[in-house]
Amino acid sequence: MALLSWSNKYSVGVKEVDDQHATFIGILNELHAAMMRGQAQSIAGPLLNKLQSYAREHFSTEERLMESAKYPGLAKHRQQHVELTLKIAEYAACWEKNDNTVFLPLLHFLRDWISGHLLEEDKAFTSWEKERGIR
């Protein structure tokens, strides 16, 4: 069973961003499935690296779109991206120290952050765009 499932409620109405969000959720679910199979320790390194790399790519896309639209909330949004990146790095550092207790808090943190960020922050941007006829 997936920890978080993509659904239309998470859609921001921008295909490129929605596709990236769905991929991000998929990586989270890969890590969850590995943990449920008792394989988190052996699989976590590559998945954490994949998660970090994909987050940077995705955040770059979002921030580029916000910059081009001159979104006034860009600085706040960018800071949230920085904070998530740092938090993932903290969890990765714990894993590297063989801290097997890191997975459950990591999964819960990511699930809550992703769903909250998509439903509030990302949708605020696309709503702002729609109000101005940008999209």
Domains and CATH numbers, the chain: 15-131 (1.20.120.50)
Question: How far apart are the C-alpha atoms of 2 and 132, rounded to whole Å?
Answer: 36
Helices 40-69 & 103-116 angle (0-180, nearest 10): 20
Instruction: Report pLDDT digits (tens) over 71-128.
Output: 999 999 999 999 999 998 998 898 888 887 888 898 899 999 988 999 999 999 999 9
Rounded to an integer, what distance in angstroms lies between the CA atom of residue 120 and that of residue 12?
A: 10
* Entry pTM: 0.88
Q: Would you tell me how many other CB atoms lie within 10 Å of the CB of residue 118?
A: 21
Residue 91: closest CA among 5, 6, 37, 28:
28
CA distance 98 to 82: 25
- The residue count for the chain: 135
pLDDT band at residue 42 using 50, 70 and 90 as cut-offs? confident
